[in-house]
């Protein structure tokens, strides 16, 4: 567990059990990128800590994205300033509605740290299109491969979409997370431990 994500002694937590799937893509699946629907645009952006947290929380609130909520601002600012990290934001008529975060620190592989859409635009096929854009971005450079992990707390279409895009399953691990109650997540019963 990351040091910053450790729970304070005596802090109330929700104990959650998940299966984490680790996936890898060694080559880009050759598929032309479709134009995004009218009013949508996706581009790399430099986000400050506040803007990043707002988008991270908006996209991840239903999927137990909690680790960056625990990360101290100074550590997150340093991460966002890292030249090996790239954040691409999906906007609809100027408003952020999704993003993907790439991290080339495990060079020559690139990890897809985070990927998602806001609830209001899910179900329109934009998730798969955005995933293909992340893959095209990664394989535009001289990389060896692309990695990602997803878990049973994520959107149910996450794993099938990664597999459809050509990622292969490397391993599955069972993890138990102690998520501080103060973060305010609604935990699905099937994920709760005890």
Name the nearest CA neighbour of 87 among 60, 114, 61.
114
pTM of the entire predicted model: 0.93
Question: Which strand ranges, in their side-by-side order, compose the sheet holding 13-25?
Answer: 40-45, 85-92, 95-103, 109-117, 145-151, 13-25, 168-180
Q: Which CATH number do you get for residue 21?
A: 3.40.630.30
Kindly state the average pLDDT of the residues 93-115. Answer: 95
Q: Is residue 7 part of a domain?
A: no
Share of the chain above pLDDT 90, in %: 85
Q: Is residue 23 part of a domain?
A: yes
pLDDT digits (tens, 9 = 90+) for 1-36: 678 888 888 999 999 999 999 999 998 666 678 899
Mean pLDDT of the residues in the chain: 94
User: What is the reported pLDDT for 27?
Assistant: 80
Pairing label, strands 109-117, 85-92: unpaired
Q: Is residue 54 part of a domain?
A: yes
Q: Is residue 4 part of a domain?
A: no
Kindly state the average pLDDT of the residues 77-88. Answer: 98
Kindly state the average pLDDT of the residues 162-175. Answer: 97
Q: Is residue 5 part of a domain?
A: no
User: What is the reported pLDDT for 51?
Assistant: 98
Quote the domain boundaries for residue 32: 12-191
State how many domains the chain has. 1
Q: Is the peptide bond before 108 cis (omega within 30 degrees of 0)?
A: yes
Per-residue pLDDT for 144 more than 80?
yes
Q: Is residue 26 part of a domain?
A: yes
Separation between Cα atoms, residue 95 and residue 180, nearest integer Å = 30
Residues 6 or more apart whose CB falls under 8 angstroms from that of 182 comprise 11, 12
The residues that bridge with 117 in the sheet, in sequence order, are 98
Q: Is residue 1 part of a domain?
A: no
Q: Is residue 155 part of a domain?
A: yes
- Band of residue 56 on the pLDDT scale cut at 50, 70, 90: very high
Helices first, then strands: H and E counts in the chain:
5, 7
User: What is the reported pLDDT for 29?
Assistant: 60
């Amino acid at each position: 567990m990351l040091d910053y994500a450790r729970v304070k002694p005596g802090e109330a937590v929700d104990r959650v059990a998940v299966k984490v799937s680790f996936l890898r893509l060694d080559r880009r699946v050759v598929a032309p990128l479709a134009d995004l629907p009218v009013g949508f645009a996706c581009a790399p952006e430099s986000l400050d800590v506040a803007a990043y947290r707002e988008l991270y929380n908006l996209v991840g609130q239903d999927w137990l994205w909690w680790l960056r909520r625990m990360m101290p601002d100074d550590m997150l600012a340093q991460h966002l300033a890292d030249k090996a990290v790239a954040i691409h934001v999906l906007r609809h008529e100027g408003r952020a509605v999704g993003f993907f975060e790439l991290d080339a620190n495990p060079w020559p592989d690139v990890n897809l740290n985070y990927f998602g859409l806001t609830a209001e635009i899910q179900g329109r096929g934009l998730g798969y299109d955005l995933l293909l854009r992340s893959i095209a971005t990664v394989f535009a450079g001289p990389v060896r491969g692309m990695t990602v992990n997803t878990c049973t707390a994520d959107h149910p279409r996450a794993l099938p979409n990664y597999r459809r895009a050509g990622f292969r399953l490397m391993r599955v691990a069972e993890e138990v997370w102690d998520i501080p109650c103060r973060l305010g997540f609604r935990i699905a019963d099937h994920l709760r431990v005890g």
